Chains A and B, each alone.
Chain A
Amino acid sequence: MQLVVLIKQTFDTEEKIELANGAVAEDGVKFIMNPYDEYALEEALRLREAHGGSVTVVSCGTDRATETLRTALAMGADEAVLIAQDGLPDDGSAVAAVLATAVRELKPDLVLAGLFAVDRGAGSIALQVAERLGLPSASAVLKLSVEDGGGAAGGQAASRASWGGGDGRIAVAERDTEWGVETVAIPLPALITAQQGLNEPRYPSLPGIMKAKRKPLRQLGAAELGLDAAALAPRTERASLLPPPARAAGRKLSGAPAEQAEQLAELLQREAKLF
């Protein structure tokens, strides 16, 4: 089974965000693999262990993202592709166009991505990739298995992926929604996004780290994917970057627990005008 995992390098979630000169300061910041992408990668590695095949990780980022891709290779991915972010506009549609083109060439049976990246938090690009490639999708997946689909007996339409693929198999996914945990079946090739709780990602092993140094890591520019300016035209732009509204510490309530509870109820009603 050909598995492709979309990966983004992000700030560590423990990092403070400092703004300087209209940008987020990156000096001395620790970068990590987006936590949700770690779940996606771990799941891909487990699927490869169960079904055979290979895992390719794909990222669009700066040169610094090679560190994160090496981590992915050390965890067990077979190959990595890094598409240079330099020269691309700051817009999700352009990134989705680039990733879709790179993924199409890999002819995957299943594409896995994180539910969202902890920096931008939009959760849009992976699903834009699915739409561009004609792939079914299941989002916020908590549990995943790949099964024999039994042909058309399930009454399910085939994926529209231009490369065929999937071998008549289906992905069965439990996903986190506001209406409950929903179990869905979708035909492969397909895309899933990983929700926290899907698995417990492994740490890279020492032999894994040694092996990763010799695994292929291809670096490409958007032009090498055959994308022209029109395909990469941005739809949106950032107008400004702002710190969060300041929040001052309030007051601590004194007295015995019962008095504190009474005061708080009173303050929430009268001062905060709640209830």
Chain B
Amino acid sequence: MTDTTVKALVYAECLDGKLRRVALEALGAARLLAGDGGSVHAVLVGGGPGAALQEAAAELAARGAGVVHVVDDPALAGFAPEAYAAAIGAAVAAAQPSIIVLGHTAAGRELAPRVAAGIGGGHVADVTAIEPGGDGGAAALLTRPLYAGKAFEQRRFLPGAPQVITVRPNNLPVAEPVAPGGEGWIAALPYQAPPLWTVVRGIARKAGGTVDLAEADVIVAGGRGVRSPEGFAPLAALAEVLGGAVGASRGACDAGYCDYALQIGQTGKTVTPKLYIACGISGAIQHLAGMSQSRVIVAINKDPEAPIFGVADYGIVGDLFEVVPLLTQRFRTLFNKTG
């Protein structure tokens, strides 16, 4: 194969100046979709110190991006969707890709529909698995959840339609490094910021060190069984030891024990961590939809008949306020020994 046309463009999202893992998962997806013969470009967008973007660019180039387009402009210091969409547009004009891949993140969910509508393409969102189409010209099959995971569909693009795909964090493998010498090159991309609509007036940052739910490897979630806002403290302690995030069921959110931002379920966030520990969550169908694709599920509940035990790999019938601190202690000891 000597096809050197650009097949795919990846929007490589950064958070706090660092390349997000989902950016490397999107790059992996793009390489898979482009196939062996097709080239993959990446676009890095930001208005921060150039050095941070250069570091991210080098990583993308080392993991199979043939060209990394860097758009570094003061207009991109805050997240103005129109400015970011225009930066992706500049990369689309430069690379002429037939496939554009973004992470299904707050930024990607905002940008992908605009990019798709702007180029007359389709958007397949929240993709969790990809079956490449192969050389026969068959379209790739893109698996995505429906009803937050109560069912799945495979979608494909119709011939000739520009393809915009957002991939769910934590589901696809990251792009592997290419052989030494095969690295791509990095180029500054000329960019004219559009007239800006969005003025970012301020950001209330999340508490330091908090892991984002969508990308967390471990989630410790609480339900009505935590009984109060203070009841989340032992869960937060366990999450911290495991390097994970705290989540919640709708019941806990509705009861005012925690913020709706933590809600996991068909309303709320759908998550797929490596380990999900459900504490005092009964397992309503709309909650199960949001978490039952997690790799390993642990349930801790007083009620042996709670439906959550039906999807749990390991169940503990007991009081979370007794069991969770013991677990925290146990893991702290284990990690101290090995680490």
Contact = CB atoms under 8 A, between A and B. Distances in A.
Interface of A: 11, 13-17, 19, 24, 35-36, 91-93, 96, 118-128, 130-132, 136-140, 154-159, 172, 176-187, 190, 195-197, 234-245, 247, 249-253, 257-258, 260-262, 264-265, 267-269, 272, 274-275
Given A122-B125, A261-B327, 10 more contacts: A93-B122, A136-B81, A179-B16, A179-B106, A183-B200, A183-B202, A241-B153, A250-B315, A261-B326, A267-B314
B105 A179 contact: no
B106 A139 contact: yes
A61 to B, nearest CB: 17
The interface residues of chain B, by DSSP majority, are classed as mixed
A158 B318 CA distance: 59
Interface of B: 15-16, 79, 81-82, 85, 105-107, 109-110, 112-114, 116-118, 121-126, 141, 143-158, 161-163, 194-206, 212, 214, 242, 259-261, 263, 265-268, 270, 274-275, 284-286, 289, 292-293, 295-298, 304, 309-319, 322-323, 326-327, 329-331, 334-335
Most buried by A among B105, B117, B203, B275: B117
Nearest to B118: A131
Contact of A253 (B121, B196, B293, B316): B316
Given A17-B147, A187-B197, A250-B314, A122 B123 contact: yes
Contact of A236 (B161, B196, B259, B304): B161
13 contacts: A16-B150, A96-B113, A118-B147, A119-B147, A123-B125, A127-B117, A154-B199, A155-B196, A196-B263, A250-B313, A257-B318, A261-B323, A269-B334
B132 to A, nearest CB: 14
B149 A122 contact: no
B200 A184 contact: yes
A118 B323 CA distance: 34
B261 A197 contact: yes
Given A137-B81, A257-B323, A181 B203 contact: yes
Given A17-B151, A121-B148, A249-B311, A180 B267 contact: no
Contact of B327 (A177, A196, A264): A264
Contact of A121 (B147, B310, B318): B147
B315 A253 contact: yes
B250 to A, nearest CB: 9
A265 B261 contact: no
A185 B154 contact: no
B106 A177 contact: yes
B24 to A, nearest CB: 16
Given A176-B261, A257-B323, A252 B315 contact: yes
A267 B144 CA distance: 31
Nearest to A126: B113
Contacts, number: 280
A14 B146 contact: no
B16, B150, B204, B292 pick with most chain A CB within 10 angstroms: B150
Nearest to A34: B267
Contacts of A120: 146
B151 A244 contact: yes
Contacts of B268: 196
Contacts of A130: 113-114
B326 A182 contact: no
A179 B203 contact: yes
Of the candidates A178, A250, A264, A268, the one having the most CB atoms from chain B within 10 angstroms of its own CB is A178
A265 B331 contact: yes
A172 B202 CA distance: 11
B309 A121 contact: no
A154 B268 CA distance: 34
Contacts of A183: 200-204
A78 B144 CA distance: 36
A252 B317 contact: yes
Contact of B126 (A24, A121, A236, A264): A121
Nearest to B200: A184
Given A13-B267, A260-B323, A252 B316 contact: yes
A184 B79 CA distance: 9
Contacts of B311: 247, 249
B18 to A, nearest CB: 12
Nearest to A181: B204
A124 B113 contact: yes
A133 B107 CA distance: 20
Contacts of B200: 182-184
Nearest to A17: B150
A125 to B, nearest CB: 7
Nearest 7 A-B pairs (CB), nearest first?
A: A235-B122, A157-B195, A127-B113, A136-B197, A122-B125, A261-B326, A250-B313
B116 to A, nearest CB: 6
The residue in B199, B263, B318 that gathers the most chain A C-beta atoms within 10 A of its C-beta is B199
Contacts of A180: 203-206
A16 B144 CA distance: 18
A235 B158 contact: yes
A197 B260 CA distance: 6
A237 B155 contact: yes
A152 B242 CA distance: 50
Contact of B155 (A136, A181, A239, A261): A239
B296 A268 contact: yes
Nearest to A92: B123
A23 to B, nearest CB: 10
Nearest to A269: B334
Contacts of A234: 122, 158
A155 B163 CA distance: 35
Given A184-B198, A236-B122, A178 B326 contact: no
